[in-house]
Amino acid sequence: MMMKKKNIGTSLILLLVPLALLLVLYVNPPHYSSSSSSKTSLHLYTINPHRKLISHILLTSSSESSSSYAVIFDAGSSGSRVHVYQFDSNLDLLSIEGELEIYDHVEPGLSSYASNVTAAAESLIGLLQIAEDAVPQDLHSSTPVRVGATAGLRSLSGNTSEEILEEVRKLLKEKSDFKLESDDSVAVLDGIQEGSYLWVAINYLLGNLGKEYGETVGVVDLGGGSVQMSYAISEKAYSNAPTPKNGEETYVKETYLKGSKYYLYVHSYLGYGLLAARAGLLNVTGDYGSPCILDGYNGDYTYSGITYNASAFGSSIYKCRKVADKALRLSDSCSYINCTFSGIWNGGGGIGVSNLYVGSFFFDRAAQVGFINKSDHVAKAYPAQFKDAATLACQTKFEDAASVFPSVDESDLPYICLDLVYQYSLLVDGFGLKPWEEITLVKKVKYQDGWVEAAWPLGSAIEAVSSSSSSSKSQL
């Protein structure tokens, strides 16, 4: 009899629990909670033996449509530029007002204001306003802003570069509500940062990240004050990489991108950018005049506060190449198995550098002298085409230069022979390319339905947004 009553009691409990559940669901139906991140959760409530209401998350879905912005200033030697990007939650680029990036620039660069650091910072105000207009007001405080100074500021003596950067930090803190994460967000980039950011940017736009290292492209970027080379190498090449000497930067950087590990050879050659190289070549010839300057021109060239004699002395491509070789220090001893120039290890070569994208002043000069079409943004070319253009340039008198090269800026005309000779020598004698080895000259890269500037700020923006997102999640 007692067993029968116990069974009846158990049955009643089993019956009452579902009834209680139904009652709870009737009074408090399944709850869908949403937050600012647009995550939706389905909660089911049950009653435990101690008569407490318990919530179980059965399903969590995310319809996250939020986006992130990043504002990056490129403070180069020839001018300052601003890049504004918008990313979705997968770090894919989104358009801003119909463009995949907002971009503008001003001249001269910050290093030109060495005697007036306040004016240096104020030169960015117009670019800052463009960035603020591009980013929705309610997202300003969560949008990271960075200022990366490159070779121009690196070359300034004393504390001048830091004084300029401090004025820029002050400007951003007082006149902008963008997110300045730390004082290091306004800094001089080292060569490894600049080169690796650009490699990431170009391979990101090409859709190569996450693939085998041999499916990525190598990058050479010729700026005003420095030139960078970066490409992925094999793990074996990494294990055999030389230990940098005192004062040298590390040659290889390990990085993880989209689930793949890359060993990235990066080197920045300070003083070998195009504007710095003019000074280097003119320094070789000194007061005697230069065979790299167009016949008929007499003048001076000032770089980083130093003035050089830029008068012509028998313009000749043959003689100019000898000057370029001296400026590149090709005869310097090489302590490694393979060197580029100035005694620098070349990374060992390999498949990661077999497909080379070459940008900045390489693209600009090629477009100006006419062997590629500027409107194409990207073009196949050969180093030998720089030599062919240099042959014509070095035979041209200064008085005829504007008609022969109508697309070259007037201020650059006296140096067009020098520039083209140096670019050819850098590619062939410096980096060891064959004259008829195919390269890709690049200004912008096709991405989705638009074109994006092939520049290091995109790589920095990807890092900034990723870091900002990680920081925000850690605070939740």
More confident residue, 140 or 335: 140
CA-CA distance, 337 to 347, in Å (whole number)? 10
Say what the pLDDT of residue 125 is: 97
Mean of the per-residue pLDDT values of the chain:
85
| pLDDT of residue 41 exceeding 90 | no
Instruction: Please tell me the number of Cα atoms within 13 Å of 203 on its side-chain side.
Output: 31
* Confidence band, pLDDT 50/70/90 cuts, at residue 24: very low
Say what the pLDDT of residue 37 is: 37
Annotated binding-site residues for ATP read: 224-228
Token pair of 176, please?
């902008």
Active-site residue identified among 101, 132, 167, 194:
194
pLDDT, average across residues 292-318: 95
385-413 b/e (C-beta count within 10 Å ≥ 16 → b): bbbebbbbbbebebeebeebbeebeeebb
Mean pLDDT lowest among 49-63, 80-94, 286-300, 320-334: 49-63
3-class SS of residue 195:
helix
Say what the pLDDT of residue 207 is: 94
| pLDDT of residue 59 exceeding 50 | no
More confident residue, 30 or 353: 353
| pLDDT of residue 22 exceeding 50 | no
**Are the C-beta atoms of residues 405 and 368 closer than 8 Å to each other?**
yes
pLDDT, average across residues 383-387: 98
CA-CA distance, 441 to 428, in Å (whole number)? 15
| pLDDT of residue 401 exceeding 70 | yes
Handedness of CA 387, 388, 392, 398 (dihedral sign): negative
pLDDT, average across residues 442-464: 93
More confident residue, 236 or 158: 236
* Confidence band, pLDDT 50/70/90 cuts, at residue 249: confident
Annotated binding-site residues read: 224-228
Handedness of CA 466, 469, 475, 476 (dihedral sign): negative
Tell me which amino acid residue 33 is: S
The secondary structure element, H or E, covering residue 199 is helix 191-205
**Are the C-beta atoms of residues 347 and 251 closer than 8 Å to each other?**
yes
| pLDDT of residue 325 exceeding 80 | yes
Q: What are the chain's domains?
A: 66-189+450-468 (3.30.420.40), 269-437 (3.30.420.150)
| pLDDT of residue 316 exceeding 90 | yes
The pLDDT tens digits of the residues spanning 407-420 come to 999 999 999 999 99
Closest alpha carbon to 58 in 17, 25, 23:
25
Mark whether 174 is an active-site residue.
no
